[in-house]
Amino acid sequence: MWTGDNLPIMRGMNSASIDLIYLDPPFNSKANYAAPIGSEAAGAEFKDTWTLSDVDAAWLDLIETKHPALNRVIHAALNTSDKSYLIYMAVRLLEMRRLLKDTGSIYLHCDPTMSHYLKLVMDAIFGRKNFRNEIVWCYTGPSNTKRYFPRKHDTLLFFGGASCVFNPDAVRRPYVAEYTPARGLYGQAVAEPSYKTLHQRGTVPPDWWADPFLTNISAWKNERTGYPTQKPIALLQRIIKASSPPDGVVLDPFCGCATACIAAEMEHRQWAGIDISPKAAELIKMRVKREMSLFYDGIHRTDIPERTDIEPLRKYNHADNKKLLYGEQSGNCNGCGDHFLPQHLTVDHIIARSMGGTDHLSNLQLLCGHCNSVKGDRGQDYLLAKLAA
Ligand SMILES: C[S@@+](CC[C@H](N)C(=O)[O-])C[C@H]1O[C@@H](n2cnc3c(N)ncnc32)[C@H](O)[C@@H]1O
Ligand SMILES: [Zn+2]
């Protein structure tokens, strides 16, 4: 379990190391969530409003230069807030694609606010041919809308490659709930369907999930911690059983009160959870104990992991980095664009370290002395805006 921004943490994880990613990110709902005072989750809060200041110019640059299809779909969004949100999500989803094994799957949990845009982003990143399902998770609960139908479903976008793991037998459920005896025109009973043709262990649920144990908040109210946007454990169990191998690794990079981690533990999978709110790490300890009567003393980290599947990083201002960047930038400063001799350029972080920027070469650039002092330890967007002014 990690506490921190998931972007630098994922950047430090090895490629092709994860079997299943479930993410339930903020939805761009224009709301700021907070748990009720007095609930187990009190003190947990997260932001769900977006502006361009949440987006580092380097992310935009990465997308514009290396992912043109993704860039086009992001610019299909109609306003700055939506665009900022999609950029924020896209840079993280790019990392998730790198982390997934060939046999892996990803489930993005979202709601109708942004699901139409997120599906385009997922198509661009994971490939349209790897789209598996758009699952509709229905739920019940009070509503006081007067001008439209109560909004009572979320959407799960499920993508996986041609060889992705899928275990339909692990999630079969009885036919009974769906079956009502057929009646003829005058209400008379007609021939019963032949059960011999039906699978003995039940049916695989379709892509809309309205099972009472999943939809009805009161069915899982004993699980409630008060964490805003908590999901039922049973929902996560179905996803984990269907889409991960028995000894697989599950990652939830926006894990909240760790529902996916608890479900993974119950299904004997290995797991890793990341959340920016320190409350999440506290809640998982409490929940494993309560839901599973287990003593849990899992590892809690706040550091940025270091990839072991690539050569160890050089110190960022190492002469070799400088030489490589000098060639890449043709000897020009990445701020003002003027040409300089190597000794007049310095290695700088594109996304400042204080904003989660890493020492990887992809986050380094050369700046002249003047541009470097204007930028300070702020982001590249600040420097470019200052120079443009
Ligand atoms: C919708 S909630 C997840 C709820 C979770 N599925 C559950 O059942 O409790 C989204 C979570 O994302 C976290 N979050 C937002 N931005 C983040 C980031 N950049 N890195 C890690 N976590 C983040 C928030 O703190 C919040 O807990
Ligand atoms: Zn310069």
Is residue 276 lining ligand 1, measured as CB closer than 6 Å? yes
Is residue 287 lining ligand 1, measured as CB closer than 6 Å? no
Helix (H) or strand (E) holding 261: helix 259-266
By most ligand atoms within 8 Å of CB, the mutation choice from 254, 271, 355 for ligand 1 is 254
Is residue 9 lining ligand 1, measured as CB closer than 6 Å? no
Question: Domains (ranges, CATH) in the chain?
Answer: 2-178+193-292 (3.40.50.150), 319-388 (1.10.30.50)
Residues in CB range of 86: below 8 A, 6 or more apart: 73, 74, 77, 114, 117, 118, 121
Helix (H) or strand (E) holding 287: helix 278-292
Helix (H) or strand (E) holding 60: helix 57-66
Is residue 230 lining ligand 1, measured as CB closer than 6 Å? yes
Given CA atoms 57, 62, 63, 64 in this order, what sign does their dihedral have? positive
Q: Which ligand is nearest to the CA of 233?
A: 1
Is residue 41 lining ligand 1, measured as CB closer than 6 Å? no
Q: What is the pTM of this model?
A: 0.81
Q: Which ligand is nearest to the CA of 366?
A: 2
Q: Is 265 exposed, middle or buried (0-12, 13-18, 19+ CB in 10 A)?
A: buried
- Ligand 1 center from residue 313 Cα (angstroms): 29
Is residue 28 lining ligand 1, measured as CB closer than 6 Å? no
In the beta sheet, which residues pair with residue 33? 46
Look at ligand 1, atom 7, and give the residue with the nearest C-alpha.
230
Q: What is the mean pLDDT of each run of 10 residues along the chain (389 residues)?
A: 92 95 83 51 55 66 85 90 90 96 98 95 97 95 91 96 96 68 59 59 92 76 79 95 97 94 93 91 82 72 88 87 94 95 94 77 92 88 87
Q: Which atom of ligand 1 is nearest to the CA of 277?
A: 25
Residues in CB range of 296: below 8 A, 6 or more apart: 284, 285, 288, 289
Which two structure tokens, joined as six digits, stand for 286?
């409490």
Residue type (1 letter), 305 = P
Is residue 154 lining ligand 1, measured as CB closer than 6 Å? no
Look at ligand 1, atom 13, and give the residue with the nearest C-alpha.
254
Q: Which ligand is nearest to the CA of 332?
A: 2
Residue 349, number of CB atoms within 10 A of its CB: 21
Residue type (1 letter), 353 = R
Q: Which ligand is nearest to the CA of 231?
A: 1
- Ligand 2 center from residue 386 Cα (angstroms): 12
The single residue listed with the structure tokens 């070799």 is 320
Residues in CB range of 129: below 8 A, 6 or more apart: none
- Distance CA(288)–CA(293), nearest Å, equals 7
By most ligand atoms within 8 Å of CB, the mutation choice from 3, 23, 46 for ligand 1 is 46
Look at ligand 1, atom 12, and give the residue with the nearest C-alpha.
254
Look at ligand 1, atom 3, and give the residue with the nearest C-alpha.
256
- Ligand 1 center from residue 160 Cα (angstroms): 23
Is residue 274 lining ligand 1, measured as CB closer than 6 Å? yes
- Ligand 2 center from residue 340 Cα (angstroms): 9
